[in-house]
A and B are shown apart, each in its own frame.
Chain A
Amino acid sequence: MKILGKLLVGFLAVATLCAVVGLSGVSNLRDLRGSLVTITDETIPSLHRLESLEKELLVVKVALRNLANPFVYEDEELAESQFANIERAREVYRPLLQELDSKAMVPEEAALWEGVNDRLAITVSYTDRVIKSARAILGADDPETRAAMLREQYAFVFGEGRLVLDEFIASVDELLEYDQDLYGRRMAADSVAATSTATLALLGLTVAAFVVAVALGVVLGRSISGSLRKVVLTLDRMAAGDLSQKLEIRSRDEFMQVRESVGTVQETVEAIIAETGRIADHIVSGRLTERADPTRFKGKYNELVCGVNETVEAMVGFIEAIPMPVMAIDKDFRVIFMNKAGAALGGATGEQLVSARRQCSELFRTGDCKTEDCACAKAMQINGQAQSQTEARPGAHRLDIDYIGVPIHDRQGAVVGALEIVIDQTAVKAAQRTMEKVSAYQGAEIERVTRNLGKIAAGDLGCDFELAEADEDTAQVRERFATIRDALRASVDAIHSLVTDADTLAQAAVDGRLQTRADAARHRGDYRKIIEGVNRTLDLVIAPVNETIEILKRMAEGDLTSEMTGDFNGDFDVLKSAINETLASINELLGQVTLAVEQVAAGSQQVSQASQALSQGATEQASSLEEITSSITEIAAQTKRNTDSAVEMNGLAMSARDGAERGNSQMSELVSAMSDINSSAEEIRKIVKAIDDISFQINLLALNANVEAARAGKYGKGFAVVAEEVRNLAVRSAGSVQETTKMVDDAIANIARGNGLVDVTAKQLQEIVGGSAKVAGLSEEVSTAGKEQSQGLDQISTGLTQIDQVTQANTASAEESASAAEELSSQAQQLKAMLSRFKLRAREARLTDEDVMRMLQSEMGRRGLSSRSGITLRRDAAPAPAPTQAVAKKPAIAARAARAPINPADVIALDDDDFGKF
């Protein structure tokens, strides 16, 4: 069965089940609708009629009661309205009764309805009677009859007929209640039960339909998806390259066709693979002429195989296009491929060579053929690339070749042949030989040129202008070297003429002929520049030289005012500025010299004056020195006497010290004696104390005895007298003791005082000893000092003698320096006259005397002399007359002043103010 059939059967079964379920539901709904119609159309109106009936009956009941009331009859209209009410009620409920009567009823209901009908008849007759009597009452004119009738009416209504209507209403009520119960409860319950039954049936059918549908779906789905899975599996494998898996489907539906199609595809693909594999085997093993057969395949497969062929063609085309012979051989050295270049050598096409199965050695006939040197044989043997060089003789050709052998492997990696690539080196070798020859020629000629250039560089212009002979290969090179030789010759000539001119100029310059010039027009280019430069140099040299000569001439004449004014460059400018600076320096120097000479002239005058003053001072100094010497002699005699006195005093002081020391030792003895006395006094005091104690005891005893004696009455009287006497003795001895004690105490006090005095005396004696020792020492020092003093005085005396000599010398020097200063002054004048010959530039030439003095001042200040030292420079300082006066007043001070350590050369004059200090 086909898949479509299976699906149709399944869906039909499910549709049928759905129809059954739907029909069942519809029938149930119809039943439900029937019962609903019954309720709305019959039951509810019937109940409604019963209720209306009951209501109308109540109206009738009220009207009847009213008719029993006598007051109603008072108003006839009211009574009539009662009749009208009853009539209208009757008209209303009469059709109700008919409808109810026509209604189908269950037996119990019918029985109740029977009861209602019975009551209806009774009620109608009762009502008619009441109405009838009421009408009669209304018609009765006689009040008595009317009253009687009224009473009868009342009695009837409230007596006999009182319950008629009530019972009727009760029966209707009963029926109503029954109906309500019947329709409201039982019928509702019935319809609920029917509905649930229908629902259950519907549910069951639905479930059954669902189960059947699911079962059908599962069965159908499994059968289809199983087949699909197999197909997918097979296609996946095919996609992964596995064609061996066949599709195994046994069902007889559309999957049968799928299986057959897949099988066809697999077979086709396998065939293609087999064909391409075969071609690949051939190509790999070097049989590049083999091709696949595309006619066996159709459509895209045909294109695929054609594409493989085209790929191989393209590749082989590249090899064919290589302009050198490429050849493939099998293991027996038979040619299996030869490209166009190779075939052309053999004089045949590649196909002809391959189909002829010729051996390569027959074609190329190289030196290596059938030897171990054959690169192809080596390549096959070592399974790697090999290279060799040899000579080949294919056909009529003779070639130098490099060739490379590369092993060819089949697809299993086994060596099945070799590929040979031949490179024709014949032309390269010929070119190489020509190049070597040219190179040798060039080498020789370049060496010659180099040698010539070296000579030129070294200044030797005797060059070798030969050229070697050439053959056909070197002719071209020789031409080039000829050009070089000619150029070289021209250069040498130019240099030669330049050298000649330069030499001429140099020789002229050496000889001092600066007017000589070379002809620059004979030279060209830079050489001309050189000659022109030399000429210009000479021009430039001459100008400054001439000016310098002029300046120096003027200097020789004593004119120092001129200077070089020309505009020069470089070293000439330096020369110019040097000469100008020299002139300026000489100007400056001579100016300063003039100044110095003037200073010297002024200074020498000062020196002359000062020297005269010095000489005078030295003479005075000498006379003062004599006085000092005599004073010193007197002092020396006095000192001698002092020294003698000091020695004497020293002896006295020594003896005083000895006496004092003796007194001191005796004093010590005295102190110890006093101490002994003191201890004895203590002893005496103790004894006295003992005596005093004893006398006290005696006194005590005497007193007791006295007391006892008194107590003994008159017999004790005598005893009392004795006791009294004893007591008196005791008192006396006590008094004596007291005196003794006092005396001892006095003695002790005296001793203590004596002790103190002794101590003081001892101390004083000690001081005397020390003092006299000091006196002795001092007097010794005095005598020593006196001796030293006299020695010192001797030295002073000697010194004075020396000073005297120096002073004498000073006087002589001062006189000499005075005469020297005179001479200096006259020489300075001479120098000034000499300098005046020079004509100097105006600025430094004139100098006032004030300037000269100021300069001298500053010069002295620089040498560390100042006015504070009492020496100042005064232009108009006359030889000072003051020192003479000063010496006259106080010779000693003058002598001291003369001794002051002043270099006479520095002393120009003494300031007037300084004399006040003396």
Chain B
Amino acid sequence: MTEAVRRDARDDLFIDDAEDEDTQANKYMFFRIAGESYGIGIRHILEIIELQRISQVPDMPAYVKGVINLRGKVIPVVDLRLRFGLPERAYDDRTCIVVADISGATIGFIVDTVEEVIEIPEAQVEEAPRFRSQSGKDRYISGMGKVGEDVKILLDVEALVRDDDARAIAEAGREP
């Protein structure tokens, strides 16, 4: 590990300034829901915060838990467990809100806990298997990343809010 860091640091020293490398590409931030690891492209991530007090908003889909005040900015929060149709569970001190930017709209996703940021080259990403005949939940799965022996689910964040309801939420979180 130390070797790798050192090598990366050396590489950085030789990186040409003109050569604008996309440092966000292929990097995914992984979090855990119901024992399963999910990844979101790091470019969508604004920050990760601990659970805050959520103000409930009436007349919203069940998975929209409400809004939070993030340093003076009101953003909606979505419980991904509920969004994925999994059973709800009580929040604990490991529960985090992943604040993401989706096409200019800021949305918080409540996850069981966050894990790490991993870079997965495109070659290691395979398309998600298609089960159209089923409920179509995989439409927000962008692909399956292989990390060593593991396979991690990569989420299409935009697709998460592609639905009408989700879009409305996204609208609510968009900058005026």
Contact = CB atoms under 8 A, between A and B. Distances in A.
B117 A706 contact: yes
A714 B19 CA distance: 9
A711 B24 contact: yes
B24 A710 contact: yes
B12 A704 contact: no
Interface string A708-723: 0111111011101100
Interface stretch (A153-161, A191-199, A695-703, A861-869): A695-703
B126 interface: no
Contacts of B8: 717, 721
Majority SS at the chain B contact face: mixed
A707 B12 contact: no
A717 B1 CA distance: 16
Given A696-B94, A717-B12, A728-B1, A710 B23 contact: yes
B117 A718 contact: no
Majority SS at the chain A contact face: helix
A724 interface: yes
A693 interface: yes
B48 A710 contact: no
A836 B73 CA distance: 155
Contacts of A706: 29, 42, 117
Interface residues of B, number: 27
Contacts of A703: 29, 48, 114, 116-117
A707 B29 CA distance: 8
Given A712-B23, A717-B8, A718-B12, A700 B117 contact: no
A128 interface: no
Contacts of B47: 704, 707
Contacts of A710: 23-24, 27, 42-43, 117
B21 interface: yes
Interface in A661-714: 693, 696, 699-700, 703-704, 706-707, 709-714
A721 B23 CA distance: 12
Contacts of B23: 709-714, 716-717, 720
A696 B50 CA distance: 10
A718 B114 contact: no
A505 B12 CA distance: 195
A704 B48 contact: yes
A704 B47 CA distance: 6
Contacts of B29: 703, 706-707
A700 B96 contact: yes
Nearest to A716: B23
Nearest to B2: A725
A707 B116 contact: no
B5 A725 contact: yes
A727 B116 contact: yes
Contacts of A721: 5, 8-9
B118 to A, nearest CB: 10
Contacts of B21: 713-714
B150 interface: no
A131 B50 CA distance: 181
Contact of B42 (A700, A707, A717): A707
Contacts of B43: 710-711
Scoring A696, A704, A707 by chain B CB atoms within 10 A of each residue's CB, the highest score goes to: A707
Contact of B48 (A707, A711, A731): A707
Contacts of B50: 700
Nearest to B5: A721
A699 B30 CA distance: 13
Nearest to B113: A696
Nearest to B13: A718
B152 to A, nearest CB: 16
A121 to B, nearest CB: 155
A731 B1 CA distance: 14
Nearest to A721: B5
B57 interface: no
Interface string A725-746: 1011001000000000000000
Contacts of A731: 116
B54 interface: no
19 contacts: A693-B93, A696-B93, A696-B94, A700-B50, A700-B114, A703-B114, A703-B116, A704-B47, A706-B29, A706-B117, A707-B47, A710-B42, A714-B17, A714-B20, A714-B23, A717-B9, A718-B9, A721-B8, A724-B117
Interface of A: 693, 696, 699-700, 703-704, 706-707, 709-714, 716-718, 720-721, 724-725, 727-728, 731
Given A700-B50, A712-B23, A727-B116, 7 more contacts: A706-B29, A706-B117, A707-B29, A710-B24, A713-B21, A713-B23, A725-B5
